[in-house]
Amino acid sequence: MSFTNDLSFHGKVAIVTGSGRPSGIGAAIAAALTVRGACVTIDYVYDASAPRAAEVVESIRAKGGKATVVRGDIDILVNNAGIAPMTPTVEVTPEEMASVFRTNIQGPLFLIQAALPYIPRGGCIINISTCLSRMGLHSPVYTTSKPALDSLTHTWALEFGRKFCITVNAIAPGITKTEISPPNDHPEVRRLLDMTRLEGRMGTIEEIADAVVLVASPLSGWITGQYISVSGGVNWI
């Protein structure tokens, strides 16, 4: 038996989807991995996002990290990209529903199909879920798509764990402060803050990133198939 307290990712390659927004969770995850030695690819979808993605890359490089498009083994895959419209049920269109499920479910599934041959034994997949998926709050379509991702997490943990020795876990943030967060006096935000056991505030993108670092590290090598709430102890019971 070997013991380690190493949170270094030197020599590791990571892909973090949805990491092109400087103040977003994905960018914080990318920064947290690169500062510990990983080489991270910064992912964005729309042309309009290119300058912001470049800003993320430059910020990481300015701190001595490595952020680029790479070819080779992928040690860490973080499925962070997602969309969360707040449309009420009676106003949801077929196009919006298809868009949410295409991004939040089909995107991770098809990315894993493409990446799996390049993930070595001992690699990890981390899906970014949400504590809202168990609370019946926020967008009905979004909060339906995330439990589907949670279900895939459990299925992939068995499917990829037995065959490839790859761990698969879900990190579920609570309400987190980003550039697109509603204000603190928003009714849904206030309700969530009232449910938070720790400090009664929004989480930070860095706190979500720290949880990803821990789950991606060798310290979590025997943890798989888990839904891990990173929400300040939000109580949905």
Q: Is residue 8 part of a domain?
A: no
Q: How far apart are CA 39 and CA 64, in angstroms?
A: 11
Cα three-residue angle 179-182-187, rounded to 5 degrees: 165
Question: Nearest to residue 79, comparing CAs of 99, 100, 106?
Answer: 106
Q: What is the pLDDT of residue 64?
A: 80
Cα three-residue angle 224-227-232, rounded to 5 degrees: 130
Q: Which two tokens stand for residue 148?
A: 């589907």
Number of domains in the chain: 1
Q: Is residue 130 part of a domain?
A: yes
Q: Is residue 237 part of a domain?
A: no
**Catalytic site includes residue 142:** yes
- Domain of 183, in residue numbers: 13-230
Question: Nearest to residue 169, comparing CAs of 106, 219, 135, 132?
Answer: 219
Q: pLDDT tens per residue, the chain (237 residues)?
A: 455 556 889 889 898 987 777 778 988 998 999 989 998 887 665 666 667 777 777 788 888 887 764 445 689 999 998 988 889 999 999 999 999 999 999 999 999 999 999 899 999 999 999 988 778 766 899 989 999 999 999 999 999 999 999 999 999 999 899 877 777 888 878 888 888 899 989 999 999 999 999 999 999 999 999 999 999 998 665
Q: Is residue 2 part of a domain?
A: no
Question: Nearest to residue 127, comparing CAs of 148, 98, 96, 142?
Answer: 148
Indicate which residue of 44, 118, 142, 227 is catalytic: 142
Q: What is the pLDDT of residue 184?
A: 80
Distance between first and last Cα of the chain: 39
Query: Domain with 28 in it: what CATH number?
Result: 3.40.50.720
